[in-house]
């Protein structure tokens, strides 16, 4: 019995791996080096090739952190602070921050009416920069290590290894003499993991719990008071995964039972788990490896990526002192699209994790003299800074590929289906080829790739044989845009 119309197979897939770790992506649906757009007129979803990674300037080997202060981007690399000049796309060395000890560094800024400060901190030390660089110290500043730092209402706060929150003098982050300016951790015996300023709040994270504070203007001691009703039994696994995007805060965390997930906090303090079970399975080996590892050679990092009207939370493993050296099962980078609420997997041109130590948003000067707001990404090993260039589709290091794998398709029945033609429905592109293959045995073996000419009005393959169930794999590379929405399968139902 022939179907009266082709059977549509959407290419706007989501990760649906049934296994754990990066190796689990060998089976089931996935979307690699692409993102999803929805047509507002028709509601149809399109899979679109990601922009290319393009270098804009070197700093020094050993990238540690990147951030912005007073609309200027700053980078810490090889324990040195650099300033980015967007008018020239250059980086200038400012000075040394030796005691950061080449560790992953977070950069935050405080813009005040008359003064402003940049703060760069690692687990070992913290530095201030205004017109010169100075290391933070004082009786009220922890000597046993830094778990997190944040500004609120003129005070710089630091979370110590015991979960206490100490504060600087108001409007003077160089003054740490008042030892009464401390919020003592009485609420939990959990391990402290991070601190963040979010809206008008300070959020203190432990491994399995979190608390929210506000500036109560207390006349003595710390200005902060706790909001008891905002306590949550969800914590932060790694401070390096904390990232604010718009009016949401994102991180990798776990609950009191140890279940790991990706969470977001809304400006109204509403907590939401945004990871799906397949994403959590992909990340499970990342988390277990990071928890077990005592090496600082690799880190799990969260940051943002802005491109083509989308803003994503990016989460993945990266090597700090050299190429990523952990197990292959932990070598993965996933993105959560805050615009579409979809998940993707991205890689470098050679298939290794799309991994940086952080990002910031900054003006970038294009070759024609125009400017645009772009995400700047810092590479950990060579200290190079990259942007996502929407005008090209080849990374500076080499050609990357888009891979879209569908779930097993059976057209609603396991009857044998005799297939006629198969069409790839997408945008025409002169000179570009896509390649298609399929598996009829649950992703265990695959046919050879067959080319489909995207310059044609209809990219099509003739009869592709009979099957009960079939998974399709669409592959495209080359310096061309790529935008597809579905496969149209012309099939005829046979017998059982």
The Cα–Cα gap between 418 and 421 comes to 10
| Cα distance between residue 23 and residue 13, in whole Å | 18
Outline where 4-103 has alpha helix (H): none
DSSP 354-379: ---SEEEEEEEE-TTS-EEEEEEEE-
User: Containing H/E element for 197?
Assistant: strand 192-198
92 vs 116: CA distance, rounded Å: 20
Mean pLDDT of 199-215: 95
pTM, two decimal places: 0.94
- Indicate whether 329 pLDDT > 80: no
CA of 455: how far to CAs of 392, 424, 451, in Å? Answer: 18, 12, 12
Q: 346 - beta bridge partners?
A: none
What is the structure's pLDDT at 65? Answer: 93
Range of 99-103, 252-256, 265-269, 329-333 with top mean pLDDT? 265-269
Question: Which DSSP helix (H) or strand (E) runs through 121?
Answer: strand 116-121
> For the segment 54-111, what is each residue's pLDDT rounded down to a tens digit?
998 777 788 999 998 887 899 999 999 999 887 667 889 999 999 998 888 999 988 7
> What per-residue confidence (pLDDT) applies to 61?
81
Comparing 31-35, 305-309, 324-328, 438-442, which segment has the lowest mean pLDDT?
324-328
Given pLDDT bands bounded at 50, 70 and 90, which one contains residue 6? confident
- In the predicted structure, residue 370 carries a pLDDT above the cut 90: no
- Distance (Å, whole) CA 150 – CA 115: 17
**E-strand stretches of 40-104:** 45-49, 52-57, 63-69, 72-77, 80-85, 90-96
The pLDDT, as a whole number, for residue 294 is 43
Cα diameter, the chain: 84
Higher pLDDT, 231 or 22: 231
Inter-residue contact 142 to 157 (CB < 8 Å): no
Residue whose token pair is 């910031």: 360
Mean pLDDT of 119-143: 94
Is the separation of the CB atoms in 60 and 401 below 8 Å?
no
Beta bridge partners of 460: 423
Q: Which two tokens stand for residue 384?
A: 């190079």
**How does strand 343-345 pair with strand 201-206?**
unpaired
At 270-315, the pLDDT tens digits run 999 999 999 998 887 776 656 555 455 667 899 999 999 999 999 9
From the CB of residue 87, how many other CB atoms can be counted at a distance below 10 Å? Answer: 8
**Mean pLDDT for the stretch of residues 257-264:** 87
Q: Given this model, what pLDDT does residue 135 score? A: 97
- Pick 286 or 201 by higher pLDDT: 201
Least confident of 12-21, 34-43, 250-259, 272-281: 250-259
């Amino acid at each position: 019995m022939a179907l009266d119309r082709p059977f549509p197979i959407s290419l706007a897939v989501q990760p649906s791996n049934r296994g754990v770790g990066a190796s689990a992506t060998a089976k089931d649906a996935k979307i690699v080096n692409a993102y999803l757009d929805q047509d507002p007129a028709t509601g149809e979803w399109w899979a679109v090739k990601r922009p290319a990674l393009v270098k804009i300037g070197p700093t020094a080997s050993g990238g540690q952190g990147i951030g912005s202060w007073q609309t200027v981007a700053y980078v810490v690399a090889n324990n040195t602070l650099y300033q980015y000049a967007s008018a020239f796309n250059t980086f200038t060395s400012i000075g040394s921050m030796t005691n950061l000890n080449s560790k992953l560094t977070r950069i935050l800024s405080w813009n005040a009416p008359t003064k402003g400060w940049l703060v760069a901190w690692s687990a070992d030390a913290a530095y201030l920069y205004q017109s010169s660089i100075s290391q933070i110290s004082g009786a009220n500043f922890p000597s046993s290590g830094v778990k997190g730092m944040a500004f609120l209402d003129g005070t710089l706060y630091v979370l110590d290894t015991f979960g206490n929150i100490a504060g600087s003098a108001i409007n003077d982050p160089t003054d740490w003499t008042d030892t009464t300016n401390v919020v003592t951790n009485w609420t939990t015996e959990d391990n402290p993991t991070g601190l963040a300023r979010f809206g008008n709040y300070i959020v203190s994270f432990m491994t399995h719990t979190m608390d929210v504070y506000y500036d109560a203007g207390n006349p003595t001691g710390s200005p902060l008071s706790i909001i008891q009703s905002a306590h949550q039994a969800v914590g932060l696994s790694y401070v390096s995964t904390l990232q604010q995007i718009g009016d949401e805060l994102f991180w990798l965390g776990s609950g009191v039972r140890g279940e790991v997930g990706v969470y977001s906090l809304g400006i109204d303090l509403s907590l939401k788990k945004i990871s799906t079970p397949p994403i959590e399975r992909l990340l499970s080996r990342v988390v277990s490896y990071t928890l077990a590892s005592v090496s600082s050679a690799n880190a799990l990092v969260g940051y943002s990526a802005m491109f083509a009207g989308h803003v994503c939370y990016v989460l993945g493993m990266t090597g700090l002192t050299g190429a990523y050296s952990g197990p292959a099962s932990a070598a993965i980078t996933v993105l959560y699209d805050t615009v579409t609420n979809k998940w993707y997997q991205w890689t470098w041109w050679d298939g290794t994790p799309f991994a940086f130590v952080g990002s910031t948003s900054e003006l970038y000067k294009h070759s024609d003299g125009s400017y645009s707001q772009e995400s700047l990404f810092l590479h950990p090993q060579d200290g190079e800074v990259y942007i996502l260039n929407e005008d090209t589709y080849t990374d500076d290091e080499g050609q990357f590929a888009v891979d879209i794998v569908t779930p097993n398709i059976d057209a609603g029945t396991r009857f044998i289906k005799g297939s006629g033609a198969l069409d790839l429905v997408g945008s025409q592109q002169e000179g570009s080829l896509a390649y298609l293959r399929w598996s009829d045995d649950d992703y265990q073996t695959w046919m050879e790739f067959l080319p489909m000419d995207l310059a044609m009005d209809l990219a099509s393959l003739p009869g592709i044989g009979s099957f009960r169930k079939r998974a399709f794999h669409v592959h495209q590379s080359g310096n061309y845009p790529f935008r597809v929405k579905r496969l149209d399968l012309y099939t005829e139902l046979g017998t059982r």
